[in-house]
Structure 1
């Protein structure tokens, strides 16, 4: 797979899995990770409020208009979330 120019990824873009399921909204690009907005964060299992999550930019399959499409399904990508401290 070709390397993508991650500079095309901008804040407020929608992030969707390969299955078309909405995963989050881009807060900003942080090196080789995409930081998602806290508003889109899945609730933690213990009921705590949302946190910023990061997904590896390497999961990006394409950037089409204002949508970042991943090579993984939304559920698989969510398993790779890194929580911000």
Structure 2
């Protein structure tokens, strides 16, 4: 299981494929709040911590590719 304390503001979130998903704004309970500047609709979106595979090389890596991760944002 991922340690949420490893996730910090402004970290890039990428899919397992390495493609960009978003940028961490901050943690909100068991979710990662992404910056709205990175969003196509200009709103904040959230990604559940359970979707994170690891924190590696200063990036949050999801368990799925970027398209699947983007589809899970809420």
Find the structure with the greater CA-based Rg: 1
In structure 2, distance between residues paired with 1:33 and 1:42: 19
With structure 2 as the length reference, what TM-score do the two structures score?
A: 0.94
When the two chains are superposed, the root-mean-square deviation of aligned CA atoms in Å is 0.8
Please state how far the C-alpha of 1:42 moved relative to its aligned partner: 2.0
Displacement over 6 Å in runs of 4+: none
Matched, 1:22 2:14: no
> Which segments of 5 or more consecutive residues in structure 2 lack a partner in the other structure?
none
In structure 1, C-alpha distance between the alignment counterparts of 2:39 and 2:49, rounded to whole Å? 17
Q: Which segments of 5 or more consecutive residues in structure 1 lack a partner in the other structure? A: 44-49
Counterpart-to-counterpart distance in 2, 1:10 and 1:33: 12
Aligned with residue 52 of structure 1, among 21, 29, 44: 44
In the TM superposition, residue 64 of structure 1 has moved relative to its aligned partner by: 1.4
Aligned residues: 74
Q: TM-score, normalised by structure 1?
A: 0.83
